[in-house]
Amino acid sequence: MNPVPRYGFTVGFMDIDNDWCVPSACSLEPAEQPGRVAEWDSLFATAVRSVLPVDGGVHLLLAPAPGRASVVADLAEREAQCCAFLSFDLAVTSSTLVLAVTADDEHGDVVAMLAGRAGSVLGSSR
């Protein structure tokens, strides 16, 4: 089981690996990185309905749920603080949430790995 910090639950159906996290480019303490990956994995498994590659990044289409927009915004804001090369834009409508993730040219591979991770977790939770 893997704890998901700040949300009071654990996730047991996925392995934690930081293959999309670039420690040399991230200011998050190494000991905190597995917890952050677990938070993203939880979001991918519970909310992501589709992963759409777009020019310069990826759009994660999320199912709406009460409070979900604030949880996603909080996670994206914390991620942007430690990985300044990532940009997040959350669009909210009554029927969907879209989290756009982009990066500078040097870190485009991080977005691609994050999208791959989202796709693999999404696929394993169906």
CA 26/CA 78 separation, integer angstroms: 12
Contact 46, 103 (CB under 8 A): no
pLDDT value for 7: 38
Q: At residue 57, what are phi and psi to the nearest 5 degrees?
A: 175, -145
**pLDDT single digits (tens) 24-80:** 567 778 788 889 889 999 999 999 999 999 988 999 999 999 999 999 999 999 999
User: What token pair was written down for 108?
Assistant: 């485009």
User: Which element (helix H / strand E) includes 80?
Assistant: helix 68-82
Greater model confidence, 15 or 22: 22
